[in-house]
Amino acid sequence: MVRTLMLGSLVAISGFVQTCNPDVAAEAEVYEEVTDLKNTMEATDSQGNVYTIGTDQVSEDDQDAYVEKRGPNGKILWSMHHSATPVDERAVMIHIDRYDIPWVVFTVDGGSNEQSFITQKYLRDESVWERSLFRGYGRADGAAKVAVVACLNPQHGKLERATFLMSRTNEGNIDAVDKTNTLVVDSFFVGDTVAVDARSWYLPPGVGANHENFVFHPNATDSTKVGDSWPVRYILSRGLDLMYSADILQ
């Protein structure tokens, strides 16, 4: 699906943009095709600030995700572990958008919802998860690895917007808390929209899925599987509250 943004509207509002929004694509009839998704663990903004991400090995089975920002002179401006519970949590890729805003993909396992989990630890304010497409992991007894796509405030590093992305094992809605399963992000890009290439080992969500109702992808059948998983390109809003498209890649 090819869409091209009308750049005029973007330029007009770009001077005022300092956060993850606006959802410019929501108002555009066509927007930019995504062709260059990225998977990097370091990124430099237009001012020379350098972001690095990674995972601290806390113990044999406990990893914590971190993101760090350094100024052009190498001085650490902020460094934080956005998720640091006893389960496996990693920061796996970062991208700086055209507004110099950092976007990070995390992975988290379930099994922990304490205050050091990504849903609670470093939030701009209480509203961060209120609009999210998917607001939580979905089950308490972890193990399966799911993704979290997040927009960070460049000034202090706290989450501005975020959404989980996960698969499900069977029919049912999001309240069927025992059905969350593995979905891994391979690469992503943030422009007018948030493009995410993922692989889903169980049924991936399709357009219309949200935190209240997990709609299974209608084309996720045995014939569209590539190996053991479905490769899916998601096009999400910059607000991480809307799914524009979900194309299974062949």
Please measure the distance between the N-terminal and C-terminal CA atoms of the chain and give it in whole angstroms: 14
Q: Which stretch binds Ca ion (CB under 5 A): 23-31, 83-91, 159-167, 171-179?
A: 83-91
Tell me how far apart the alpha carbons of residues 28 and 244 are, in angstroms, rounded to a whole number.
12
**How far does CA 175 lie from the centroid of its chain?**
21
Q: Which is nearer to Ca ion, 90 or 211 (CB)?
A: 90
* Residues 20/244/41/132 CA torsion (nearest 10 deg): 50
Choose, by CB under 5 A, the member of 23, 45, 56, 62 that binds Ca ion.
Answer: 62
Choose, by CB under 5 A, the member of 89, 97, 109, 160 that binds Ca ion.
Answer: 89
Give min distance, CB of 55 to Ca ion, in A. 9
109 contacts Ca ion (rule: CB under 5 A): no
Tell me how far apart the alpha carbons of residues 234 and 202 are, in angstroms, rounded to a whole number.
16
Q: Which is nearer to Ca ion, 24 or 144 (CB)?
A: 144
H or E stretch covering 27: helix 24-27
Q: Which is nearer to Ca ion, 62 or 100 (CB)?
A: 62
Give min distance, CB of 54 to Ca ion, in A. 13
Q: Which is nearer to Ca ion, 17 or 58 (CB)?
A: 58
**Degrees (nearest 5) of the Cα angle 33, 34, 38?**
170
Q: Which stretch binds Ca ion (CB under 5 A): 13-21, 42-50, 62-70, 190-198?
A: 62-70
Tell me how far apart the alpha carbons of residues 14 and 227 are, in angstroms, rounded to a whole number.
42
Q: Which is nearer to Ca ion, 88 or 241 (CB)?
A: 88
The binding site for Ca ion (CB under 5 A) comprises 62, 64, 89
